[in-house]
C-alpha cells in the first residue's frame, strides 16, 4: 500500500513545496506530502466541487478509484484504512 498526502491550501493560498515539507516534518509522517501549487488537485479531487480540501480517495493497484469520500467532512482513519486494505 502506498499513502500520499496532497496539501492543497494554507491560510495564505495554494500550498507550496516548502509548505508540504513543513507539514510532513511537523506531523512526522512516513509518507510523501505533495503540494497542490496550482490548485489542480483541489479542483479535480476536492470535495464539494473543489471547494473543500477534505476528500479521501483510495486508488487500487489497477489505477481505478476503489473508494472515495468527498463530502467535505474530516477523515475517519479507521474507515480510510479499511478501504485501503480492501483495495485489490
Check whether residue 1 and residue 40 sit in a common domain: yes
Check whether residue 41 and residue 59 sit in a common domain: no
CA–CA gap between residue 42 and residue 7 (Å, rounded): 9
In a domain, 23, yes or no: yes
Check whether residue 61 and residue 85 sit in a common domain: yes
Check whether residue 7 and residue 28 sit in a common domain: yes
Check whether residue 3 and residue 34 sit in a common domain: yes
Residues 6 or more apart whose Cβ sits within 8 Å of residue 51? 72
Residues 15-44 have pLDDT tens digits of 999 999 999 999 998 889 999 999 998 888
* Confidence (pLDDT) at 88: 86
* pTM of this structure: 0.73
Question: Which residue range forms the structural domain that includes residue 86?
Answer: 55-88
In a domain, 50, yes or no: no
Dihedral angle, C-alpha 38, 40, 45, 50, nearest 10 °: 70
In a domain, 8, yes or no: yes
Amino acid at each position: 500500500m502506498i499513502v500520499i498526502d496532497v496539501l492543497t491550501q494554507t491560510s495564505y493560498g495554494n500550498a507550496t513545496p516548502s509548505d508540504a515539507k513543513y507539514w510532513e516534518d511537523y506531523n512526522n509522517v512516513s509518507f510523501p506530502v505533495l503540494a497542490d501549487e496550482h490548485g489542480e488537485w483541489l479542483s479535480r479531487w476536492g470535495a464539494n466541487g473543489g471547494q473543500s480540501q477534505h476528500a479521501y480517495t483510495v486508488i487500487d493497484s489497477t489505477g481505478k478509484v476503489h473508494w472515495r469520500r468527498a463530502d467535505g467532512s474530516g477523515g475517519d482513519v479507521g474507515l480510510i484504512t479499511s478501504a485501503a486494505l480492501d483495495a485489490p
